[in-house]
């Protein structure tokens, strides 16, 4: 479009009878600029400039500019254009060959470098867009790989703790242990089928949490008080599966004592499309002989990382110790929109 305006439309304002050879030369110039544009954009810039060879690129452009101007001069002479244009502007004067006007060659050189500049910019932007798309795709693949790895760690971590709880029950109450195994089988179905998905219905996650709590109740003594408040979520809300489990595990792992009075608070509230989850429990040291004492807190670390990957800028996680009340608290807010 730009070459059309500069080469074909502007001469119309000269108010002279322009020879046909001039329009042939202008059309040739326009086509030549188009060819230069695409050769530079598709070949020279990607294969030379963007490959880290700027000196070679500049050398090629300078040589191409000289050849471009030389080709135009040859084409004009071939058409006899200098004499024809002189007669068009000076019909009453005889033509005498003289020195060539440099201004025309300078103008053509500017057109050449304008075409080169625009095509180089287009090629650079396309390369940047391609690199950016590739980077986003690689980031997506990296995140998916990392999430798959984190999920793979959650399953054995969860079953390790649950089976250990059931093992403890077998020494105390066989019937309760059998009931616990039935609940565990239902939970396993959730883990096997829902945890393979990126998202699951929040309602299913809540049912899983409630089954887990019921399972934990079977091993609690009378001095442990549970304060549970869980809202019934909407049907259409979704959440990453088993995202809340590590917080519950930590509450039952560190908040239970067989001798002292203790309380575990679990609250799940849904307001609109925002999930509020909170746990609070007393802090008791884990027995040195228990398997939990040998763990490295992998569940909490994984959950923090999953939250960062799955809900960037859409979650807020706070946790800490209330030294005055000897309590550990967790407060999680997730925007599920």
The pLDDT tens digits of the residues spanning 223-269 come to 888 899 998 877 788 988 888 888 888 888 888 877 788 889 999 99
Residues 6+ apart with CB under 8 A from 80: 21
Higher pLDDT, 240 or 334: 334
- Short-list 195, 190, 257, CA closest to 221: 257
Q: For residue 131, what are the CA distances in angstroms to 48, 126, 127, 275, 330?
A: 17, 8, 6, 37, 40
Instruction: Point out the least confidently predicted range of 80-84, 268-272, 328-332.
Output: 80-84
What pTM, to 2 d.p., does this model score? Answer: 0.56
Q: How far is CA 229 from the centre of its chain?
A: 36
Mean per-residue pLDDT, 67-94: 76
Q: CA-to-CA distance for 220 and 218, rounded, in angstroms?
A: 6
For the chain, the average pLDDT equals 79
What is the Cβ-side half-sphere exposure of residue 284, based on CA atoms within 13 angstroms?
A: 20
The confidence score (pLDDT) of residue 141 equals: 62
Per-residue pLDDT of 142-160, as tens digits, reads: 666 555 555 555 556 566 7
Q: How far is CA 235 from the centre of its chain?
A: 29
Q: CA-to-CA distance for 205 and 198, rounded, in angstroms?
A: 13
The confidence score (pLDDT) of residue 276 equals: 95
pLDDT of 293 higher than 50? no
The confidence score (pLDDT) of residue 331 equals: 94
The confidence score (pLDDT) of residue 277 equals: 95
Strands 274-282 and 238-239 come out as unpaired
The confidence score (pLDDT) of residue 251 equals: 87
Instruction: Point out the least confidently predicted range of 31-40, 81-90, 137-146, 156-165.
Output: 137-146
- Short-list 290, 276, 294, CA closest to 330: 276
Two structure tokens written together for 85: 């244009």
pLDDT of 291 higher than 60? no
Q: CA-to-CA distance for 127 and 61, rounded, in angstroms?
A: 20
The confidence score (pLDDT) of residue 145 equals: 56
In the numeric block, the tokens 């930590």 are attached to 250
Beta strands in 179-271 (DSSP E): 200-201, 224-230, 238-239, 262-271
The confidence score (pLDDT) of residue 223 equals: 85
Quote the percentage of the chain above a pLDDT of 70.
79
Higher pLDDT, 158 or 120: 120
Residue 30's pLDDT band (boundaries 50, 70, 90)? Answer: confident
CB 332 within 8 A of CB 235: no
Residue 275's pLDDT band (boundaries 50, 70, 90)? Answer: very high
Residue 180's pLDDT band (boundaries 50, 70, 90)? Answer: confident
**DSSP conformation class of 49:** G
């Amino acid at each position: 479009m730009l070459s059309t305006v500069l080469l074909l439309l502007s001469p119309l304002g000269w108010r002279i009878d322009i020879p046909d050879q001039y329009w042939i030369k202008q059309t040739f110039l326009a086509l030549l600029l188009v060819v230069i544009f695409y050769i530079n954009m598709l070949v020279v810039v990607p294969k030379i400039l963007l490959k880290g060879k700027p000196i070679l690129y500049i050398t090629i452009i300078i040589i191409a500019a000289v050849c471009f101007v030389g080709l135009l001069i040859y084409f004009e002479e071939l058409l006899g254009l200098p004499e024809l244009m002189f007669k068009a502007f000076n019909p009453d004067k005889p033509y005498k060959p003289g020195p060539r006007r440099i201004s025309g060659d300078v103008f053509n050189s500017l057109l050449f470098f304008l075409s080169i500049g625009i095509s180089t910019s287009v090629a650079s932007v396309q390369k940047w867009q391609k690199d950016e798309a590739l980077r986003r795709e690689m980031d997506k693949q990296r995140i998916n790989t990392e999430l798959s790895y984190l999920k793979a760690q959650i399953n054995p971590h969860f079953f390790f703790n649950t089976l250990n709880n059931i093992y403890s029950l077998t020494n105390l109450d066989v019937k309760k242990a059998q009931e616990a195994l039935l609940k565990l089988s239902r939970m396993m179905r959730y883990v096997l089928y829902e945890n393979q998905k990126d998202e699951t219905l929040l309602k299913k996650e809540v049912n899983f949490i409630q089954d887990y709590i019921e399972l934990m109740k079977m091993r609690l003594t009378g001095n442990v008080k549970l304060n549970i408040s869980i809202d019934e979520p909407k049907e259409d809300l979704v959440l990453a599966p088993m995202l809340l489990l590590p917080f519950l595990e930590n509450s039952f792992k560190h908040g239970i004592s067989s001798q002292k009075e203790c309380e575990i608070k679990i609250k799940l509230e849904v307001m609109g499309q925002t999930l509020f989850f909170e746990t609070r429990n007393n802090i008791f040291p884990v027995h040195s002989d228990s398997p939990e004492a040998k763990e490295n807190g992998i569940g909490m670390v994984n959950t923090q990382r999953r939250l960062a990957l799955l809900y960037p800028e859409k979650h807020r996680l706070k946790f800490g110790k209330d030294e005055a009340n000897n309590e550990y608290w967790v407060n999680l807010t997730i925007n599920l929109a």
